[in-house]
Amino acid sequence: MPEPQVIIITGASRGIGHAIATHLLKAGHKVVLTARSPEKLEELQKEYPSQVQYLAADMTLPDTPYKLKELALLHFHHINAVIINHGALSPMTRVANSSIDDWKALFDANFFSALALAKETIPYLRETKGRLIFTSSGAATGAYTAWGAYGTSKAALNHLSKHIAVEEPDITSVAVSPGRVDTDMQKELREKGKAEMAPKDHEAFSKEFEAGTLVRPEQSGGVIANLAVSAKPELAGQYFKWNAPELAEYQLS
C-alpha cells in the first residue's frame, strides 16, 4: 500500500468537503480538517482517531491558516496536499443593487483566505513536491445574473492557481469545478436566489434538484480527493470540470 499522505482540507464539515475527507480516510490517508462547526469533524476523528486532526475555525480569521499548518506539522510532520474547498455564495444580488462591503466580505471568504492558506503552506508543499487543489465553480467561467461576487471570486481562484503553477514548478496546482452538486449551497440558491436570479437560471437549477440529477458530493469530491493524492504535474495551472475527459483516471468507477 502506498505511504499515507497528509492532506489539509477546508470546508470539511459537510457537502463536498466531508465527502473528500471520508474518501481519503477510507484510503488510509491522514487529514487535517477545518470548518466553523466542529460536530462532523469530531465524528470523523472518533472514527479515525490516528488519521484525523481538526480545527474548528473561521477561515477569514488571519491566524487560521497558520494554525492549520502548525497542526499538520505537529501531528503528521509534513504536508503532501492542500484542498481549498471552503466558500460562500451570498450575496446574490445584481451588481447595480450590490454592496461593496458585501463583495469584500465574500472575497475574504472565497479568495483572500484561500490565498493566505496557499501562501502559508507553499514552503512545505515544495518540500514534498505536493499538490494544491482548489474547488472552483462553473460560475468562474460562465456568468449568472446575481452571482457576480461569487463567480468573480472563483475566477480569481482559477487565476491564482495558474500563477502558483508558474511560480512553483515543484507544486501541482489545479482548479476543479465540482458541477451542480446536491449540497446546502444549492439549497440556498433555490430558496434565496429567486428574487434576483434570472428566472430561467433559477428554474434550471430547481428542475435539476427535482429530477434528482444533481451531482452527488461523493462523485466530484472523489475526483478532488484523488487529485490531491496523485495529480500529475502536467495538470498544473489548469482548470477542469470534475468529469472532464482529462481527469478520467481520477474519476470513480
- Whether the CA torsion 251, 230, 164, 222 is positive or negative: it is positive
| Active-site residue, 136 included | yes
**Where does residue 209 rank: exposed (0-12), middle (13-18), buried (19+ CB within 10 A)?**
middle
Cβ proximity of 155 and 172 under 8 Å: no
d(CA 68, CA 34): 8
Q: Nearest-CA neighbor of 150 among 162, 137, 163?
A: 137
Which residues are 134's β-sheet partners? 84, 175
CA angle 223, 14, 238 (to 5 degrees): 30
Q: Which of 30, 40, 124, 136 is catalytic?
A: 136
What Cα–Cα distance (Å) separates residue 71 from each residue in 30, 45, 86, 121, 167? 12, 14, 18, 12, 26
- The DSSP code for 248 is G
Q: Which of 48, 144, 150, 250 is catalytic?
A: 150
| Active-site residue, 154 included | yes
Three-class SS state of 52: strand
CA angle 169, 175, 179 (to 5 degrees): 165
Catalytic residues: 136, 150, 154
